[in-house]
Each structure stands twice: as structure tokens, then as C-alpha cells.
Amino acid sequence: MSALAQEHQAINLGQGFPDFACDPALVDAVSRAMQAGHNQYPPMAGVPALREAVAAKIAALYGHVYDPGTEITITAGATQAILTSILALVHPGDEVVVLEPCYDSYGPNIELAGGRIRRVPLTPGSFRPDFALIAAAIGPRTRAIIVNSPHNPSATVWSHTDMERLAALLRPTNVLVIADEVYEHMVFDGELHQSVARHPELAARSVLISSFGKTFHVTGWKVGYAAAPASLMAEFRKVHQFNVFTVNTPVQHALAAFMADPRPYLGLPAYYAAKRDRFRAGLERTALRALPSEGSYFQCVDYADLPEHLDRDEFGFCHWLTTEVGVAAIPLSAFYADGFEQRVVRLCFAKQDATLDAALARLTARL
Ligand SMILES: Cc1ncc(COP(=O)(O)O)c(C=O)c1O
């Protein structure tokens, strides 16, 4: 969709990345780290100061204390952390429960490890987890479940009760949790992010994964981290050592320095909620129906009230939107292995207000 957007000069609300600059202080910090000579390989697990900063942040926000020496590894983005977790923990023939719709790397990663994917749909319409279906998917071969909250693409957020139910479900099993928490700092309306690190029972069986790219508006830097109990992290590092080995040194030093001030990430819910509200207010002037957006920087819309588009599948609708209206979106069907259709498409509001307003003007003119 990004290529199509470019070809048709569409405003790209498809792919999830900010179109605004990161804090200049962060760029300065990278440049300072380079000038200070931090340009060679760092330790395999990551620059100690950054691992310490991550441990301190998790302890302050969620209450779980990870040992930066043995329980935290800096990765080349969350995508690498997810792949590494799966390659380290999933063995040929193991099953991994994946809740659909989901981020597109999970399935291929499980297949690379020789695992089998057990797909469980989130409830169509609400995208809430259906614990009866999840329970039915868990069996003797289940090695892990991947949980993503705040959720891409649906923008739903798991509640404390959801996490309690997950913990109860897994209690009699040895099933591990791969917790994709890349949007951890984008939870709106006063709700709390329910990290696995808030739930001791879940933390004991989880790899928690996050992304500096999402948190600090630098998706192109591809730096993230994984945190897990030492026994799991030891396995994680065996894979990390022989595929990535180490991650960009000056960026790690810069992030460590930048994280001394928590305000940039503590301010993110208000920052993105304002964009969400601006975008949703504009969408109300169209015939698109905005689904709830509780977290992340995505807004799903339903086009079921547009009779002239009912014969279009989601891809067809996104194609029309991109080429005819000039706004790119992503079909939800792209997040399902079987291409499940529900007349819902995903838009990204991590954009300058001017970009959102320009997109809304185009949408209002045609819908
Ligand atoms: C749910 C989810 N997980 C992981 C990632 C990847 O994060 P990173 O850019 O740090 O690899 C994304 C990025 O879109 C995502 O939406």
C-alpha cells in the first residue's frame, strides 16, 4: 500500500510510522555518542547503561525487577526480538497460539522454527480475546502463546481481567508467553498498560518485548529490547549471539542518556490521544464508522454503511481509497492468514496534525 500511495501521491495513513521528527535532543545524543567514540561493537546483550535504564523503567512502571545483567537484551527492533524468542523457545513440532488478526511476522517466524501455528480469532467486531477458544487451542504440544496489547491492528487494549484470565488459563500448563508490548506507552483514557511485568505469574513465563522505534518516534533506527527470566533469556541470547550479535552502539548510548528523563514516554498517552481525538472527530463527518481506539496509534474504520462500496473487499476498498481518494489504508484481511473479510480497514494517526487534516479533507469530500 505504501508503494501504491507513493505512485498516486496519496497521503499514507497505511503503514505505521510517524511523519514527524523525533526529539532533536535524541539526535544530538546519538551524535555526541559517536563523537565520544562509541563506535565499536558493544557487549552482546547490549550497552549496560541502556539495559539498566530499561530495567529501571520497567520496575518503576510495572513493578517487576529484571536483572540487567542476565534478564534484558537489546535487539535490532522488536521484530528481531520476536523472531529470536521464537527461534530460541519453539522447537520443531511445537505449537504456538497466535490471536488473529496479528502483526505479520508471527506466522512466518513460527514456521522458520519448525513450529505449528494455532490460529485463534479475536472476536470479530470487538477484537476481544475469547478465552474459551484460546483454552480449546491449548494442548500438550503448545509451547507458547503470542499476546499483543495494545493491539495492532485493532487498537484494543487488554484489561487487568484479561491478564488474570490468561494467567489462570496458563497456570496448569508450561506454556510460555511472548508478549509483544511495542505500543506499551500508547494507552488512552486513563487506562493502564497491562504489561506481563505487572503480573508476577505471567512475568515468570514471559518474554516481554518492546520497541524504542515506537516509543521515541524513530522506527527507522530499529532498536528494541526483550526482558525475561534468566533461564529464558539465556536461551534467547544463544540465538541472538549468532544472528544479530550486537546492536548499533551509539544509538544505544543515546537512548540510555535520553531515558534518564521519563517525561517523553510518560507524555505519550496524552500526545497520541489528542491526535486520535482530532482524527476521530474528523471521521465523524464521513460515512466511515470509527471503531474504538483504546491504544496504539491505529484507528480502524468500518465501511459497511457505504452501499456503493459493499461489493468491494477490503483490499479493493483500500485500493480505491488510495488511488481515487488519495488516502492510503491497510485492509484488516492482510492480518489474517485466510484473508478473513469484515469491511474494516486500518488507518494510522501517528501523523502531523496537518497531515491528518489533509487526509480528513479528502475523506470528507468523497465519503
Ligand atoms: C505489533 C507490532 N510488533 C512489532 C513491531 C515491530 O517493531 P520494530 O519496528 O521495533 O521491529 C510492530 C511494528 O509495526 C508492531 O506493530
Whether residue 47 contacts residue 72, with contact meaning beta carbons closer than 8 Å, is answered with no
Q: What's at 263, amino acid-wise?
A: R
Question: pLDDT tens across 44-103, in order?
Answer: 999 999 999 999 999 999 999 999 999 999 999 999 999 999 999 999 999 999 999 999
C-alpha–C-alpha distance, residues 238 and 241, integer Å:
5
219 in ligand 1 pocket by Cβ < 6 Å? yes
Q: Which helix (H) or strand (E) is 30 found in, with range?
A: helix 24-35
Question: pLDDT tens across 23-49, in order?
Answer: 999 999 999 999 999 999 999 999 999
Question: pLDDT tens across 183-214, in order?
Answer: 999 999 999 999 999 999 999 999 999 999 99
Q: Given this model, what pLDDT does residue 235 score?
A: 98
CA 239 to chain CA mean position, Å: 22
Q: Whose CA is nearest to atom 7 of ligand 1?
A: 78
pLDDT, mean of residues 317-331: 97
- Of ligand 1's listed atoms, the one at least distance from the Cα of 296 is 16
Q: Which helix (H) or strand (E) is 147 found in, with range?
A: strand 142-148
Residue with cell 505487572: 198
Q: Ligand 1 centroid to 367 CA: how many Å?
A: 31
Q: Ligand 1 centroid to 211 CA: how many Å?
A: 7
Q: Which helix (H) or strand (E) is 231 found in, with range?
A: helix 230-243
Q: Given this model, what pLDDT does residue 43 score?
A: 98
Would you give the DSSP letter of residue 228?
-
211 in ligand 1 pocket by Cβ < 6 Å? yes
Indicate if the pLDDT at residue 1 is higher than 90: no
Indicate if the pLDDT at residue 162 is higher than 90: yes
Q: Ligand 1 centroid to 198 CA: how many Å?
A: 21
Question: pLDDT tens across 283-292, in order?
Answer: 999 999 999 9
Pocket test for ligand 1, best of 15, 79, 209 (most atoms within 8 A of CB): 79
Return the percentage of the chain with pLDDT > 90, whole number: 98
Q: CA nearest 179: which of 141, 205, 216? A: 205
Does the pTM of the predicted model rise above 0.75? Answer: yes
The residues, any chain, with a CB within 8 Å of residue 155's CB and separated by 6 or more, are: 291, 292, 293, 294, 295, 296, 298, 299, 300
CB atoms within 10 A of CB 270: 9
Question: pLDDT tens across 110-123, in order?
Answer: 999 999 999 999 99
Q: How far is CA 47 from CA 54, 125, 202, 348, in A?
A: 11, 43, 27, 32
Pocket test for ligand 1, best of 22, 54, 99, 211 (most atoms within 8 A of CB): 211
Q: Ligand 1 centroid to 307 CA: how many Å?
A: 34
16 in ligand 1 pocket by Cβ < 6 Å? yes
Q: Ligand 1 centroid to 300 CA: how many Å?
A: 17
Res. 264 pLDDT band, cuts 50 70 90: very high
154 in ligand 1 pocket by Cβ < 6 Å? no
pLDDT, mean of residues 291-319: 96
Grid coordinates standing for 132?
474459551
Q: How far is CA 359 from CA 4, 131, 313, in A?
A: 16, 38, 22
148 in ligand 1 pocket by Cβ < 6 Å? yes
